[in-house]
Amino acid sequence: MNTRIKELRKENKLSQEELALAVGTTRQTISSIETGKYVASLPLAYKIARYFGLTIEEVFDLSEYIE
């Protein structure tokens, strides 16, 4: 699954660590989500989206889950 997290981080000049702290998770979790190792949980997806002032669908490309 693709996400715009890395792109949004760069635009806002944030490290993974800084974003992780801001949304209450770990840097490794942000890394894992960015690299596609696993899919963010709904609560975390929401917190990340809200942090950037966007909707979940604007941050996470979920099209692969729909035919």
Partner DNA sequence: AAAAAATAGCAAGCATACTTTACATTTTTT
Partner DNA sequence: AAAAAATGTAAAGTATGCTTGCTATTTTTT
Residues that bind DNA (CB under 7 A): 6, 9, 15-17, 24-29, 31-35, 37-41, 43-44
- Choices 5-13, 14-22, 39-47 (CB under 8 A): range interacting with a copy of itself: 39-47
Name residue, tokens 């635009």.
11
| CB contact at 8 A, 48 and 54 | no
Here the tokens at position 52 are: 């950037």
Of 11 and 58, nearer to a copy of itself (C-beta) is 58
Here the tokens at position 46 are: 């929401």
Q: Residues 18, 21, 22, 39: which binds a copy of itself (CB under 8 A)?
A: 39
